[in-house]
Amino acid sequence: MPKRDFLQIPDLTADGIGSLLELAGRMKAGSYRERPLVGKTLAMVFAKSSTRTRVSFEVGAYQLGGHALFLSSRDLQIGRGEPIKDTARVLSRYVDGIMIRTFAHADVVELARHATVPVINGLTDFLHPCQILADVMTMQEAFGGWQGRVVAWVGDGNNVANSWLHAAGVLGFELRVACPEGYEPDREVFERAKRTAKVSVYEDPEDAVRGAHVVTTDVWASMGQEAEVDARMLAFKGYNVDAQLMSLASPDAIFLHCLPAHRGEEVSDAVIEGPQSRAFDQAENRLHVQKALMVELMGGEGGR
Ligand code: CP
Ligand code: NVA
């Protein structure tokens, strides 16, 4: 069996996401007791900060009987210029899977091309697919599925927004993005989603949120955009999810945020702490979906 990577949501089909979430649901309910990662190691390469991704992968690997290694790219030889392709081949001789969080998406593609073990994208400047697996699980818990549901994204057309578009394309729900001009999601990702789902971009957040079942947002300046913070604070003025905006959504709407959140910027304290917020269930679901993913990619008999 060739190794399988998870670099983007379209690496899975709708059925594949369905069975992954079914397994994640059993894990969350406590009815899954197997330990298919006994004797196996996940290398976790981080070039950016992380709370959720690092801890959920590490704890998840442990709960499945395996082990996870935290590797800061600053301390690896990669930080001193060792080629990605060499790092990929060397790590593949030691470990059974590699999770990487970095800047350029092309670096993750390169790593996956040269690694002989599964590679999982733990966030790039372009995509955040593990996050969106947790998000669609949270959506499924709230509504039983995605059919006929509308998701409104408010704010920056960033890595998380691009992965939401991927999910809309694969699962077929409606996605409305509200963002200022110049901060739209990736054009190609948008066009691809448009082939199989109703997706649209608005300038006015109210147009996107009206009647939506999920309202979601993210920070205005992502990791790596620190130099743009001042310009972004101005550009995103008015793109904050507050109680007034939430009141336009469907009465049963939920609020999602991948976290970390900046209260008073993209979301008000009242919304993230309010009854419609599922942000902390969403964070918990990272653990369950990633455990299911590790079982699928790394849990088989096949080794290096
Ligand atoms: N949502 C998310 O990926 O969080 P971390 O940056 O803490 O991993
Ligand atoms: N868009 C954010 C997500 C953090 C989980 C970032 O890339 O920093």
Query: Using a 6 Å cutoff on CB, does residue 52 contact ligand 1?
Result: yes
Q: Is 4 a catalytic residue?
A: no
DSSP assignment of 3-45 = ---BSSGGGS-HHHHHHHHHHHHHHHHT-----TTTT-EEEEE
CA of 93 to the centre of ligand 2 (A): 31
Query: Using a 6 Å cutoff on CB, does residue 280 contact ligand 1?
Result: no
Element housing 113 (H / E): helix 105-114
**pTM of the predicted model, to two decimals?**
0.98
Query: Using a 6 Å cutoff on CB, does residue 223 contact ligand 2?
Result: yes
Instruction: Report the amino acid identity of residue 67.
Output: H
- Residue 96 CB neighbour total at 10 angstroms: 25
> Ligand 1, closest atom to CA 54?
8
| Residue 250 buriedness (CB in 10 A; 0-12 / 13-18 / 19+) | middle
Q: By the 8 A CB rule, do 43 and 71 touch? A: yes
- Closest residue by Cα to atom 1, ligand 2, is 222
Name the closest ligand to CA 129. Answer: 1
Query: From first to last of its 304 residues, what are the pLDDT tens digits of the chain?
Result: 789 999 999 999 999 999 999 999 999 999 999 999 999 999 999 999 999 999 999 999 999 999 999 999 999 999 999 999 999 999 999 999 999 999 999 999 999 999 999 999 999 999 999 999 999 999 999 999 999 999 999 999 999 999 999 999 999 999 999 999 999 999 999 999 999 999 999 999 999 999 999 999 999 999 999 999 999 999 999 999 999 999 999 999 999 999 999 999 999 999 999 999 999 999 999 999 999 999 999 998 654 4
Q: How far are the Cα atoms of 13, 62, 120 from residue 83, in angstroms, in the given order?
A: 32, 30, 19
Place of tokens 């049963």: 252
CA of 223 to the centre of ligand 2 (A): 6
For each of the domains in the chain, give its residue range(s) and CATH number, in order of start: 9-128+285-303 (3.40.50.1370), 131-283 (3.40.50.1370)
Name the closest ligand to CA 125. Answer: 2
CA of 122 to the centre of ligand 1 (A): 9
Here the contacts of 234-238 (C-beta below 8 Å, separation 24 or greater) are: 235/180, 235/182, 235/183, 236/155, 236/156, 236/180, 236/183, 236/265, 236/266, 238/205
Name the closest ligand to CA 54. Answer: 1
CA of 222 to the centre of ligand 2 (A): 5
What is the signed CA dihedral for 193, 198, 201, 202, rounded to 10 degrees? -170
Q: Is 258 a catalytic residue?
A: yes
